[in-house]
Each structure stands twice: as C-alpha cells, then as structure tokens.
A and B are shown apart, each in its own frame.
Chain A
C-alpha cells in the first residue's frame, strides 16, 4: 500500500497553500480533489480580492488560483483529480479514482481542507427549479458561462450575496433586489455601495414569503420584518423573477474530519460545527489537521494563511523542519492571521478561533 507523508484533502486555496508549504519543506505531498479541476472556489471568483499585497490583494480570484496552482506544480505537489474519498480508517484513506477504481492509501498525516457548503432556507415554493444557492449561480455563470435567468432576487446581503449580485449584472442579467432579514447589511459596505451604484436596491429587514410558478420560478412575494423578525401584515410585495438566489451563509464541510474522529464544537461565527484545532491547525486526532473554510468560515486570505500554517506544522511534525526553523514562520503566520481578523468584521471570528484553540489545549491537557 502506498504511504505518503501528507495527504491534503481538497485543492482550494487552503489546500494548495498547505500542500505547497509541506512540499517545499521536503515532504512528499499528495493532494486529492473530487473535482475535474483544482482551485476550489477560486476559478469562479472574477472580482479583485481584498487583503494585503502579500495575499494577492487587488488580483482577481481566478488569477490567484492560477498562481497557487503554478506554485504547487513547481514544488512537485502530486495532484489527484476526479477522486472521491469514501472513508477514513485511522491513517488509511479509502478513495475512488475516476469514479471506478476503489483503493486504500496510507498517510502519515492528513490535512483536511474540504471547504464549505451553502446553507439554505426553506419557504413555500423553494423546491421550484430556479431557486438555487448564490454560489451555485456563480458557478453556472462564471465557470459554465450560462445565465440561469434574466431577473434575479438575491436573499442575503453578506459578501457572497453582494459579490454574486454584481457578477450577475456583469453577465447581463437584472437583479431586482437584494433582501436581508437583519436590520443591517451583512457584507462589506464597499461591496454594497458598488451594487447600489449599479442601481440595485438592498432592502434590510425583509424576508421571502413565497415563490410561485408552474414548472419553475415565475414570481415571488417578499415582506418586511418587524424587530421581532415577524412579518409585518400588509407589507407584502409580489413581483416577477425567474431566479431566486440564496446567500444565507456557509457551513464547514466536516464529514471527513468527523469520520476521522475529530471532535467539533458549535461556533455560530465560524458557520456552525467546526473541528476543534490547536494553534498548529492540528485537530483532536494526532496527525490530522484542518485548514481554510473547513476549519471555520472565513475569507480567502485567511484560508491561504491557515493552509500555510498547517503545511508548515505538518512538515515540522514529520521532521522536515526543525522546531526552530518552523517556529519563526509559524509565529509570523499567526500574526498575519491575527491582523486579518482585525476590525469590526473580523473580531467575532478572532474570538471564535481563540475559543477553538483554548478547547483544544484543554482536551490535549496542555
């Protein structure tokens, strides 16, 4: 049976960054992804990213993906695509290659960077074709170059809702409105201003009541919410739409870490159940690490840095880096992560991450 130093599960921004760092340090790295292309969500991100220059700020997402991929190739990361993991048994990983061949791999260490899934909300009519996740709409439009409709309603004003709305306009369709149940816009003001300048309404304290249509979405009713989140009678408005996008948050993909026995805790500010990890990104199971959205919903810049941190920590664990060599790099990465989690938008995530790390320390009896 093939034994690899490091198996990285998921080739998005965190996984690529982790694989690059471990490989650079000398470890043998195998990156597994179920998709036909690596890069995770990066290749559908056509907007310029925020962050610092060190995190490729100002560069469009797909270009960041291209650069990370190039770096991974340069550092001889082996990438196995179209490969699904069906099970984790100790240090053995069961995979299905090309949807046909099942086999087991052995790994000394595993880094789970399996990303996140979209959360959904239900309402009358939500099963009609035309109701989809905002991320799904973004994939259909930016990767497959197909417009799923001409009049969109966006539910949720977080950064995903705002950014995808802007990209729907760029693709040539109309966004009738963005509605938000909370009394405040969830995402960055800058994204909100950009979409307002393009003529799109954002209605806070509003929710969807019902979607209508015979075979697909044809119309929708929205209504205002009072401060107890109850629908204000008589505030309903009905209008024509053919796509309803749900941008109501993301949750970490924790199925594989759970299968590996990693303990989790519920942290709303990180998207729900999150694998408990220490400051090296190591979970409660020795030799198993997490990085990126899989370790709590954040942003691309933090995903990349947490991936690097996991990659370095793994290389140290395997003896490719001495304690001293790893120390400075890890301290630096933690400082960068801390800075990225600053400001009013990052604070809650910073506290939640501290809670995870404290819990890990408690469980490991440090």
Chain B
C-alpha cells in the first residue's frame, strides 16, 4: 500500500522531516525537545500560546504549520496535553546511557502504572519493544489528557509513540 499520512494515517519519516515542527537530529541528541507531528494546514493554534518560552509559532494565517524554534525549546512538555490533536511528543535521547525517554499524550483507561513494564507501540499501534513507564502525569489543567513518559532503548525512540496495555486478551 502507498505510504504516507494521506493514505495510511501514518506520517512517513520523509514527511515528518519536512515539517517545521520536527527538530533536527543534532538537536534531538542534545537533550529533551518537542517533536510536533502536525503535517497538514488546518485552522488550529493552541500550541503557540501553550509554550511559555515562545518556541512554537503559528502566526497568521491560523492554518500555518507550527514552527518549532529548537534552540528555545527545553522539552518541558507543557505543549503535549494542550495540543487538541495529540500530535506533540517529547524525546530525550540523554535520559540514560542506553535509553531514551519518550513522552506522549494518553486518553484511555486504565492508566499505566509508574515503573511497570509495558508494550511500547509504534505509529501504527503495533508493539515494538518493552518499555518502562517512568512518569504518569495527570493535572487538572491538562483537562483529562494524561502525559506519560516511557523509557525505551535509544534505537526505538524515533518510532515509539504510545503504549498498549494488556486488557486481558493477550497483546
């Protein structure tokens, strides 16, 4: 089947690298940074004011793609639950010797437990590797979007975008 967002719902690496919200590989290696997987010009701009450091710009018209200023971004992740499209992630390649930390929005119950080992899934929801849940952040101002951080081997960090919990049916 043809690859790419329009036919599969999964953005390809080529498409992602072309978007202004995607950090350079150099910046990714330097520490936590936002990865904005927003590829289509739709009228939406809450990410712009979500960032307290002004690292995300949409400007006018409102259909502009969000542009990440990767030098201003500290990877704090406050933008993650404020993006209505759940399209922002934070990757920290400096998390440990061999692991990276991937932080993503999560809107399902039950919530994962901190320190548990779970299946980390890729952009198609397929289990890719095991990962350790490092943090589960539920705040009132996130309005029911929970922010989950999972530690996975570095080589998986650019592909892991979620988790699947064992719901008793096998994984």
Contacts and interface: CB of A to CB of B under 8 A. Distances in A.
Interface stretch (B22-30, B67-75, B81-89, B90-98): B81-89
Given A48-B143, A57-B84, A339-B63, A192 B9 contact: yes
Given A48-B84, A194-B86, A343-B42, A53 B5 contact: no
Interface stretch (A196-204, A264-272, A276-284): A196-204
5 smallest A-B Cβ distances: which pairs? A199-B125, A192-B9, A190-B85, A343-B63, A343-B41
Contact of A184 (B7, B49, B84): B7
Interface stretch (B32-40, B132-140, B148-156): B32-40
A196 B8 contact: yes
B8 to A, nearest CB: 7
12 contacts: A50-B43, A51-B62, A52-B43, A52-B45, A57-B84, A60-B144, A170-B109, A184-B6, A193-B87, A196-B10, A342-B43, A346-B63
Interface in A315-356: 339-340, 342-346
A188 interface: yes
Interface residues of B, number: 43
A251 B6 CA distance: 24
Contacts of B131: none
Contacts of B62: 51-52, 339-340, 342
Contacts of A49: 84
Contacts of B164: 199
Interface centre among A57, A199, A204 (most CB of B within 10 A): A57
Q: Which of A170, A183, A196, A340 has the most CB of B within 10 A?
A: A196
Contacts of B162: 197-198
A60 B10 CA distance: 25
Contact of A342 (B63, B85, B123, B125): B63
A185 interface: yes
A90 interface: no
B9 A189 contact: yes
Contact of B44 (A50, A169, A184): A50
B108 A343 contact: no
Contacts of B107: 170
Interface string A36-73: 00000000000111111100011110000000000000
A183 B125 CA distance: 22
Contacts of A196: 8-10, 123-125
A87 B98 CA distance: 72
Contacts of A50: 42-44, 84-85
A185 B9 contact: yes
B103 interface: no
A49 B85 CA distance: 8
A221 to B, nearest CB: 20
B11 interface: yes
A13 interface: no
Contacts of B87: 190, 193-194
A190 B10 contact: no
Contacts of A59: 143
A185 B6 contact: yes
A161 to B, nearest CB: 11
B85 A343 contact: no
Interface in A167-216: 169-170, 183-185, 188-200, 202, 204
Given A48-B145, A170-B107, A346-B63, A53 B49 contact: yes
Highest count of chain B CB atoms <10 Å: which of A48, A51, A345: A48
B79 to A, nearest CB: 11
A53 B8 CA distance: 30
A204 B85 contact: no
Nearest to B143: A60
Contacts of B170: none
Contacts of B43: 50-52, 301, 339-340, 342-343, 346
Given A52-B62, A197-B121, A342 B41 contact: yes
